Amino acid sequence: MDLVPALEEPLKQPLKSVLGPATAKVMAEHLGLHTVGDLLHHYPRRYEERGQLTHLADLPMDEHVTVVAQVADARLHTFASAKAPRGKGQRLEVTITDGSGRLQLVFFGNGVHKPHKELLPGTRAMFAGKVSVFNRRLQLAHPAYELLRGDGEEAVETWAGALIPIYPATAKLESWKIGKAVQTVLPSAQEALDPLPPALREGRGLLPLPEALLKIHRPHTKADIADARARLKWDEAFVLQVALARRRHADTLLPAVPRVPGPDGILAAFDDRLPFTLTEGQQKVSREIFADLATAHPMHRLLQGEVGSGKTMVALRAMLAVVDAGGQAAMLAPTEVLAQQHHRSVTEMMGELAEGGMLGGAEHATKIVLLTGSMGMAARRQALLDLATGEAGIVIGTHALIEDKVQFHDLGLVVVDEQHRFGVEQRDALRGKGKQPPHLLVMTATPIPRTVAMTVFGDLETSVLDQLPAGRSPIASHVVPAADKPHFLARAWERVREEVAAGHQAYVVCPRIGDEEDDPKKAGKKKDPEGEADKRPPLAVLEVADQLSRGPLQGLKVEVLHGRMHPDDKDAVMRRFAAGETDVLVATTVIEVGVNVPNATAMVIMDADRFGVSQLHQLRGRVGRGSAPGLCLLVTEMPEASAARQRLAAVASTLDGFELSRIDLEQRREGDVLGQAQSGARSSLRVLAVIEDEEVIAEARQEAAAVVAADPELERLPGLRTALDALLDEEREQYLEKG
């Protein structure tokens, strides 16, 4: 798909370069293009038509743009300046138009001579530069340009009615220079090896790869572009799905110990003690998990569930089933706070069943140990001993579990909490602790649209918990526009006081800590044209806590919590908050995952526009965990018309995490979503759009599974093998990284 042997020729070579050495260097450094194949897969972002001009009215600020327009007029001015005191300074102002708007170009000094001769009224050209504002008018200063004119028959032919490809470019390399470089290497496209099996390609009426490459870079009609994109989407979806299908296939060949719970063991005893009945969803997902655990090859299952949908209960029952069958279970949590909390809640849920080997422990009891990096030596030694002897049936810990020293007696199940924080390497290191590969259950509270699950978690079977357990309360969410309506913010703090007066507690979340290491100058650097709010650094926990204690929340017990505190201090703060001794906890997103305080009913998120949609949804899930309804206030200074405000309005309007994850995905670029979904992959998705191309991905998954089942080593498909090697560094195929 990306680097095929005939196209592996480097763009930059010591003796002869395919392109000029300077161009090749910029391509490598700024665009990540190193070979002829890379360049052929650098597709145009869009196309301009000769007869149709771009809308100058819609130009974005502070971005590098390429426009096709006509010169309306050009004027040369002279002026006096420090460098040219005698009025010899020269400034060329050129106005270009496209019928929808006008744009001013300016050239200074010695740079005026060439454009003065070439940019005559009526001339059409492509212009590239950074859009800025001068005297309240849009302008491009010293833009690069390429005249659109025919010097002889062939050039006229090329431009007449042609679609002009506009490439993703950089300030150092304009779109048309990339276009010229592509034209230089385009003949090599004939030698591209086709990764799609001929039967699949012909059955779906897709173009051969060389023809698709030719049509995407040099289309004659819009139909050419559509055909080429349809073909190249299939390449991306199919090669990625084949990699995932091979991983699934390899996993089914691994042996595992079937783990079947006995009829009257610890699982039955635990179920008998439960003070409530499991939801239908929990029962269904548990049946899927128990069926997997009973097979002789390892379970690989992703458990998706909204915050508070009862995933921990499902995971605990799976762990008890394995303990029943004589094995051990390990739960891997992303932070110490969360590991400690899981340990507490599991021990509480199990009661005397968690007191194995102790006086007063129940007949089927087992021991549950905690293992984290900051434990004292004596406690750590005891925990390691309990794991090695099999005394402990369940261990809950952080990545300290992965260390070499940790030995298990018989590891049967690994549960990974909050999957997106662990790479596959870490999962596999823990799985390697079993005598045979243990079963694997991955839990995530971040709802993932079906196609992303198929793409990013394609090697896992998926279970979804979409009902909330009885007794969970609804959460009301509102946007608080602090800049437009300051009195709304004052009311927000009154609401917090009201909740506290009613015997409840509140969270206030800020994007930043506010200590010296957390430098506001750095934080404030990212300019966002959306609004003035970005002129200041994001609000910080330490400052906000101080202001609230002395101002609107004076007299309430306010504490802070953030990631750079000592683990013992963090735990002490959380314990006080959980015990109801603290009224308001001002924190960073360290509370995003797993902190469970049923008495906390209100959350105020400061600078909410600085958080992603999914993250806001996760944070909001921390309130309304008890019987009282939850309240979440999203404070922002962004103007009403901004995209950031629309995003916040979407979060406030629905509690459906799957709906929000779709919105999130549509608003961000695919690359962010897949993130490191293909670490080890030299190419991220280029033409495939995860939401729009749901059908292509689903069909590619089916085709890939069939191809791999018939020919796991792809011996009959050399083109596909080559494309896979290009997508994945070979030794890392097993580590198709999950974001």
- For residue range 36-62, list pLDDT tens digits in order: 888 888 889 888 765 444 567 677 776
Q: Of 341, 414, 362, 357, give the one whose Cα is nearest residue 390.
A: 357
Q: Helix and strand tally (H, E) in the chain?
A: 25, 21
SS3 label, residue 36: helix
Model confidence, pTM: 0.64
In the sheet with 392-397, reading across from the earlier edge strand, the strands are 367-371, 392-397, 328-332, 411-417, 439-444, 300-305, 461-465
Which single residue is written with the structure tokens 């080429």? 228
Taking phi first (over 0 means left), then psi (-120 to 50 degrees means alpha), and beta for anything else, what does residue 737 get?
Answer: beta
pLDDT attached to residue 291: 96
Q: What CA–CA distances, in Å, run from 421 to 216, 315, 344, 462, 483?
A: 37, 18, 22, 18, 35
pLDDT attached to residue 671: 44
pLDDT attached to residue 595: 62
Q: Of 292, 273, 589, 274, give the one whose Cα is nearest residue 415.
A: 292
Between CA 59 and CA 244 the distance in angstroms is: 41
Residue 166 carries which side chain, given as an amino acid letter?
I
Between CA 493 and CA 608 the distance in angstroms is: 16
Could you report how far apart the first and last alpha carbons of the chain are, in Å? 22
567-578 vs 336-350: helix crossing angle, rounded to 10: 50
pLDDT attached to residue 614: 77
> Residues 590, 509: contact at Cβ < 8 Å?
no
pLDDT attached to residue 153: 43
Q: Of 515, 580, 509, give the one whose Cα is nearest residue 548.
A: 509
Which residues in the chain show pLDDT less than 70? Answer: 1-7, 12-18, 49-55, 57, 62-64, 80-87, 149-162, 307-308, 357-362, 418-428, 430-431, 450-451, 455-457, 468-472, 515-535, 592-595, 665-686, 689-691, 728-739
pLDDT attached to residue 154: 45
Between CA 618 and CA 131 the distance in angstroms is: 37
pLDDT attached to residue 307: 66
> Residues 95, 67: contact at Cβ < 8 Å?
no
Q: Of 719, 645, 633, give the one whose Cα is nearest residue 1.
A: 719
pLDDT attached to residue 635: 93
Between CA 419 and CA 431 the distance in angstroms is: 15
Strands 328-332 vs 392-397: parallel, antiparallel or unpaired: parallel
Between CA 392 and CA 384 the distance in angstroms is: 9
pLDDT attached to residue 669: 46
Tell me the backbone φ, ψ of residue 81, rounded to 5 degrees.
-150, 180
